[in-house]
Structure formats: C-alpha cells, structure tokens
Amino acid sequence: MHFSRRALLGASVAGVVLAACSRAAPGGQLKAILDQACIDILREAPEACTSLALSEAQAGGRYMDRLSDASKEGFLRGRAIGERVLGELRGLNREQLSGQDAVTYDVVFTATENSLATSAFEYGSGAGAPYVLTQLTGAYTGIPDFLASQHQVTNRELADAYLSRLSAYARVLDQEVVRLNEDVAAGVIPPAFCLRRGAHDGAVNLLAKFASTAPAQNVLVSSFAQKLAGVAEISAADKSALTERAQTILTSEILPAYQRQVDALTALLPRATADAGIWKLPRGAEMYAASLRNQTTTNMTPDEIHQMGLDLVNSINGEMDAILKAQGLNRGTIAQRVQAVSRRPDQIYPSTEAGRARLLADLNAQVEAIKARMPEVCGTLAGAALEIKRIPEYTEAGAPGGYYQPAALDGSRPGAYYINLRDPATEYPKFTLPTLTYHEGIPGHHWQISIQQEAGELPFIRSALLGFNAYAEGWGLYAEQLADEMGMYANDPLGRLGYLQSAAFRASRLVCDTGLHHKRWTREQAIASMVAATGDQESNITTEIERYCVWPGQACGYMVGRQAINRMREAAKTALGANFDIKGFHDVVLTNGSTPLSVTESLVQQWVATVSGPAQP
C-alpha cells in the first residue's frame, strides 16, 4: 500500500489507521507508521509546508503563521519523533515486506538511524552542523528570503499570517542566542573566521549588513508591500497600514534581535580560535564519523575518502593538462594556467548589472539547449519549470556559488537555481558556468528532484520529505559527467576544461574536508590544496573551505556519490552487454527518488535481473 502527496492522511484519519495497526498486514502497518511520521515531522516544519504548498490537512494543522521552533526543546522534539519512528520500524518484520514497501522501509530506516546518530550530539543542528550561528548557519541566512520568495500573500488572512511570521522570526533569533550560549558553555565555539573576517563575510558582518538597510527598503518590508499591491480585496488604506505594521515589527522586534545576535557573537570572538576542524570539539572524532556516515551513506573511513580524493585529483589534473597544452598553454602549474584562461577578456562577465543580466541569459540558454536533448538519455522526463535567480545580495557574501530550491508540489512555484553574483568578473569565468548549470539545473538537481516529486507511486515521505546527500549530490555531479558524455562540450574545449575543473574541485573536497576534520589541517592548508588542484580563484575557494568548516562531511557526498553511480552503471553494462539501455538505467535511478547508495545499488541490480531475464538451463 502506498500513499501519494495528494492523499497524505490528515492527523485524525492517521490516528484511526494507527489504532488498527495490530490488525493490518505489514505493508499497512508501515503505511500507518509513515503517515503519522509525516504529520509529526510537518507540524515541526511550517516552512517546509509553505515551500511544498501543502494543505492544512496534509500538514496536520495550520502552519501559515508559524516558523519552526529553534529552541533546544524544539530540537529534542524532532529527535523524539525519529526515536519513535525507528522503534516502530524495528517492530515490523522487514522480511514480510516486498516491492516498494521493502524499499521504503530501507530508505526511512536508514534516514532515521543516520539522523539520530548525528542528533545524538546536541550542539547546533547536530554533528553535521554543530554551530548555531556562522556565515552559513542561523535563521538569518534563510528566513528573509523564505518570507520574501515563498510566503504567498493573496488575501488578508495570508497578509496577517506574514506579520505573525515576522514576529515569530524575532523569537527565533533570540532562541538561537540561547542555544549559542548553551553550546559555548559546553566548549562548542565556531572558528573565528566564520564569525568575522574581512569587511563583508562572517556572521557578524552579514547580520550587520542586513540590519543597516533602511527599514522601508528592507526585503522583509519591501517584498510584503509588493505582494500586497496585487491583492484586490485589500483596500489601499489597509495595505498602507499593513505595510506600516511590518515596518514596525522590523524596527521594534527583528532588528533589536539582530543586534542581540551581533552582541553575542562579538562577545564570543575573543574566545574563538583559528582551529578549523571539529576535531577540536568535545567528541569531535565521533561527530565527524557520524556526519560522514550520514552524508555519504557508506562506511568509508576518513582516510579512505582522503585517498580517493588524492587519486582522482591526480587523474583529472592529467586531463586538464592535456586541454591546456592543446590551447598552447604549456608553462606553469595547472592552477596558474587555468587562472590565465580565467583572466582572458573573452571569459569575463563584468560585475555590472548588464554583465549579470548577460550571465543569467546565457545560463537560461544552456538550460534550454540540454533540456531539448534529455529524451536521448531518459525515458521519464521532468515536468516542472526551472527559474534561475540571483542569491539575495544581503547573504551573498557568505553564500556558496549556487544552490537549488525545489518547485512547489502544486505547481504554484517553479524550481529555482540560485547563483551567487557578488563578483562575476573574478568568480565566474564563462567556461566554468555550463557545468554549474548542468549540476544545479538540468540534468542535475532540478531534473532529479522534479522527477522524484512527480513520481506518483512514491510515498510522500520519499517524494517530498527525505533526501540523501550522497545520492542527490552524487547525481548532480554525475549529471555534469553525463552532459560531457552527451557531447555538450564537443565544440567547446574550454567548456570541457570547466567540467574537469569542477570534477577536480569535487575530488579536492574529499581531500580538504577530511584534511580539516580528521587530519587537523588549518584553513590555509586547505585553501592552498584546493587552489592547486583546481586553479579556481582564491576568493571562491576561501568561501568553500569555510563552508566545510561549518558543515563537516557534507562536501564528501558529491564525489563519493558520483563514483558509486558510475560503479553501478559499469556493473550493469558488464552484466547486460548489448542489452544495456542508458534510459532504463537512468529511469531506475531517478524514479525511485533519493535513496541511500546501498538501496540505489540494490534497485539497479533488480533492474538488471528484469532486463536479463531468468537464467537459461
């Protein structure tokens, strides 16, 4: 038995089904457990409910006027849900499940078990994000854009809900200060460079930059006013009063809470050190092991991952060297020669509004070109539209180069690929951009997540709630390789250099992440290692290395995942020979949604068995 996102049970119905568990078959028991789990998870995640455009029945109650609870109590409630679900799953007989029920059991069991292992460490969000406030963690990095771009205002009720969420945002900011101080008392202090570095990045600088904008121009007020302008049922006088109320909440509640975060972090700075890895934290080695297992869904050790990275960097650098020599670039290190290409006038988008507009137009053209060719390699095609957007200027200084936001399940909002355009002239040479687009957009994250969301056979918990870093980012990196295999760089050697640079970058991540958190590298060691491996700009690399410092293990999922998918594909080719069909392989990997790598491999093996048929006597 399965349920789709459209038929997610309401809380009352789920309770009735749960009461009947003892009489249900194992598949029915699993369904009941997961129905209730979805309700409980979504009640704690109102932002996710808005992002997915769920009904109140699907979400288990009203959510439009709430934000998630950032307190320690909220953290513990979330962990308790996982503990209950894992206990209930252990109470089922896995051997009595078949088909997608068995897959669902394995997916949810692995996700829950790994999540509980990371949340056993009660710092920040757990072992994978142990610091409450840094340049990449904290509500300030996401809530303003969430309210501006995802909270819809189409009537008075939603307008009032927006104002409630503004007040809730101030409370969340203060809850984070309490959590920060609790963690500091336990010896968990972020690296100093994540709090303040240079004039622009670091949490203190980013918080202060947001707070320095004139209230009427602040995105929390200006975006609200723009939304109100299109609501016919609200009078002009009420629109003015509502906008004024938003500005009052900003100035009297939110900005003072921003200042309290700045004060707390400033007070912490004298105690912060330059030590970059979580080895310095209480039980740091255990934390890293738990996060690596969660992020890669493998049992690979830090040393094994480190060596994989070194071997791949060597191999990829050899291919880069060949392209550079063919371009007449024979002198200097690979890094020096790649940087020389990056500085060529024909590879630069000016850091002007016109330059940024041209860059976005080129990305859109690249998306359309490869989208038209996807039927060549996939039988199942994604339906959701893709929008390419600039990362908000108030967070771009500390943000990564790009990221993806899934489409709303009801089709009301397209998928969005965000790109960081703080300084394209130095950070985005033209030859590097196609690969980023293939990773974040098509055939990467947008393609994979849209197919997952649109797969009506998948239970809601798999189609919309759970994800696995090694699968999702592994597919994103595999998508870059697939674009190369499809010939997207056939007449573009520099574009292929960009593809190889990206692959070297992801291989270098294995080296640097394990270097920082296991081998006790300094931030500067890691930056130097990645610059040498990729030839990328030091400003880009610095942002990346500082990201790994606050999200330990996450950066390892990309290449570990890609290599796993490649091994699965090669094994299927070997087994099937002339019967191997790339469309069939991609369909089985994509239509089952995000899964642990062991489950993905099992699904591919089952597909191989169906293609090859029964053994002949």
87-145 residue pLDDT tens = 999 999 999 999 999 999 999 999 999 999 999 999 999 999 999 999 999 999 999 99
Q: What is the pLDDT of residue 409?
A: 82
Distance from chain centroid for Cα 181: 27
Whether 530 shows a pLDDT value over 60: the answer reads yes
Report d(CA 141, CA 289) in Å as an integer: 27
**What's at 177, amino acid-wise?**
V
- The pLDDT of 303-326, averaged and rounded, is 97
pLDDT above 90 (res 186): yes
pLDDT one-digit tens code per residue, 238-287:
999 999 999 999 999 999 999 999 999 999 999 999 999 999 999 999 99
| Higher-pLDDT residue of 24, 471 | 471
Look at residue 3 in the predicted model and tell me its pLDDT.
22
Share of the chain above pLDDT 70, in %: 94
Q: What is the mean pLDDT of residues 191-208?
A: 84
Which residue in the block uniquely carries the two structure tokens 């960081």? 420
pLDDT band at 353 (very low <50, low <70, confident <90, very high): very high
Residue 9 pLDDT > 70: no
Residue 582's alpha-carbon distances to 53, 369, 430, in angstroms, are 34, 20, 30
pLDDT digits (tens, 9 = 90+) for 590-603: 999 999 999 999 99
- The whole-number pLDDT of residue 17 equals 29
Q: Where are the alpha helices (DSSP H) in 412-467?
A: 424-427, 433-440, 445-454, 460
Give the model's confidence band at 19: pLDDT under 50 very low, under 70 low, under 90 confident, else very high: very low
**Residue 200, pLDDT score:** 54
Q: CA-to-CA distance for 273 and 139, rounded, in angstroms?
A: 24
Averaged confidence pLDDT in the chain: 92
Q: Please report, rounded to a whole number, the percentage of residues in the chain having pLDDT higher than 90.
A: 87
Q: How high is the pLDDT of residue 614?
A: 56
pLDDT beyond 70 at 508 = yes
Is pLDDT of 168 > 60?
yes
617 pLDDT band, cuts 50/70/90, is very low
> Strands 386-390, 415-419: parallel, antiparallel or unpaired by DSSP?
parallel
Confidence band for 198, pLDDT divided at 50, 70 and 90? low
- What whole-number distance in Å separates Cα of residue 508 and Cα of residue 500? 12
- Distance set, CA 426 to CA 344, 349, 351 (Å): 11, 8, 8
Contact 349, 359 (CB under 8 A): yes
More confident residue, 11 or 488: 488
C-alpha distances in Å from residue 31, one per residue of 3, 21, 24, 100, 200: 8, 9, 10, 11, 49
**Alpha-carbon dihedral 139, 144, 148, 149, rounded to 10 degrees:** -50
pLDDT band at 18 (very low <50, low <70, confident <90, very high): very low
Residue with the bigger pLDDT between 372 and 539: it is 372
Please identify which residue in the block is written with the tokens 């070997």: 574
Confidence of residue 14 (pLDDT cuts 50, 70, 90): very low
- Mind listing the pLDDT tens digit for each residue in 434-447? 999 999 999 999 99
- The whole-number pLDDT of residue 308 equals 98
What token pair was written down for 233? 């049922």
Average pLDDT for 165-192: 97
Q: pLDDT confidence of 397, banded at 50, 70, 90?
A: confident
Q: Report the pLDDT value the prediction gives residue 214, as an integer from 0 to 100.
A: 96
- Cα angle at 493 between 492 and 494, to 5 degrees? 90
Pairing of strands 415-419, 402-405: antiparallel
User: With contact defined as beta carbons under 8 Å apart, do 168 and 67 qualify?
Assistant: yes
Q: What is the pLDDT of residue 23?
A: 36
pTM for this model (two decimals): 0.89
What the block records as the tokens of 357 is: 């507009």
Instruction: Say what the pLDDT of residue 411 is.
Output: 85
pLDDT, position 197 = 62
